[in-house]
Structure 1
């Protein structure tokens, strides 16, 4: 049994995790611990507070009691908003507090892009343009070429959680570019676990989504490899990322 822990901000698309656990079809347990988000707003000051060390540390004891072998801060905007160095500092502090290997969704995207061998990506973000631009900058700092960024101007995770497949697909198509090797949809408030094969079929390329890459990143930390085609091409590629 591999036990993985996730610190998830508030309540929006956390039901993706039991769905993903079911699709993994293996001896893997995903435990989601909810953190207090403060103000639900895709705004820089609110996101910095959401991802603060104090808010993350508050969920660590419950996570340790779950027997987790690794922990991922399951929030993209609440990690990349700190910038490349700040996001590293964030996960180092989380690792110290938890006594476990730790990462975040933002780093999950970086590693997943490498895993699917994408050299150029397009970003379809639910966020306002200024926040979407910060994610693009984070990727560029990681050496990922971003060929297009599409923001949607949505302020709250609560609204994002209501999006259904047609709207998610429309965002992915609007973001996609012919020279993009993959399309990234960075928001853990977005329900995507049931839609990954359909999205990839529609775009004819890998589609990386926040909750998908968050679970994959936790598996990477635990040195586990699972073949799960229903979770997209990320879960079917031969591993190339070095732990």
Structure 2
């Protein structure tokens, strides 16, 4: 029997328990016949600072991700989506690939991650030098620079907002993000990339592409695009950037 609402695909989505943005973003970009089913990775301590220890969040993720996969598998999804970009960028390319392998081991399903989605998007656009906006502390920004460097892109400018907690990332305003976009949009930048799935930027990215005349890739839009296109779903989505509208 075919699911009444998810008759094309059911996506199982893993998201941190602290995240309030990625779920409504995915719902806002929904297309007919595709449904998203969220499972929360329990983060008991959301302090991302060095004072909490460099392995604080990764250790919690590793301990909880199997249980989150197990819960969402009970709805029999067709495909998995990682609704957390921090861990897909940590440890460079190898870190992302290891996380994908871990999720595949638990679920037996293919996975979209923010890191790989941004890589694919930048290749579609032929970009080489990028400006990046993140909510991260300096250690997280270093992970971002390492990841993009390893896949062949130069981070010409980066603006880390240094959000004090995972929840506070969702409190960043459009005015703050607009200022960050203008800061990293140096003349030699081919595209702007926003990391951090708990930053609300899909609508602003769509607008910013018209101001700047270049791609502005919001990670939630890129991840959703990857998930749809991997499943041969070619619907156009409007209001979330050119990637979902044109590619």
Q: What SS is found at the alignment partner of 1:59?
A: helix
Q: What SS is found at the alignment partner of 1:224?
A: coil
Q: Say if 2:13 is the partner of 1:3.
A: no
Q: Say if 2:93 is the partner of 1:93.
A: no
Query: Which of residues 43, 54, 61 is equivalent to 1:37?
Result: 43
Query: Which of residues 143, 150, 171 is equivalent to 1:141?
Result: 150
How big is the alpha-carbon RMSD for the aligned residues of Structure 1 and Structure 2? 2.0
Deviation at 1:59, TM superposition (A): 0.9
CA–CA distance in structure 2, aligned partners of residues 6 and 25 of structure 1? 16
> What TM-score do the two structures reach when normalised by structure 2?
0.87
CA–CA distance in structure 2, aligned partners of residues 219 and 112 of structure 1? 13
Question: Are 1:24 and 1:227, in contact at CA under 8 Å, matched by a contact in 2?
Answer: no
Q: Which has the higher contact order (CA 8 A, sep 6+)?
A: 1
Which runs of at least 4 in structure 1 moved beyond 4 Å after TM superposition? none
Aligned length: 236
CA–CA distance in structure 2, aligned partners of residues 90 and 25 of structure 1? 27
Deviations 1:175-222 (A, max 9, x none): 221111111110011112333322222332211112212212222332
Structure 1: stretches of 5+ with no match in the other structure: 239-243
> What TM-score do the two structures reach when normalised by structure 1?
0.88
Question: Are 1:13 and 1:188, in contact at CA under 8 Å, matched by a contact in 2?
Answer: no
Q: Which has the larger radius of gyration?
A: 2
| 20 and 89 in structure 1: CA distance in 2 versus 1, 3 angstrom threshold | closer
1:241 maps to: none
Query: Which of residues 216, 237, 243 is equivalent to 1:228?
Result: 237
CA–CA distance in structure 2, aligned partners of residues 186 and 106 of structure 1? 9
CA–CA distance in structure 2, aligned partners of residues 226 and 127 of structure 1? 32
Say which is worse superposed, 163-172 or 195-204, in terms of deviation.
Answer: 195-204
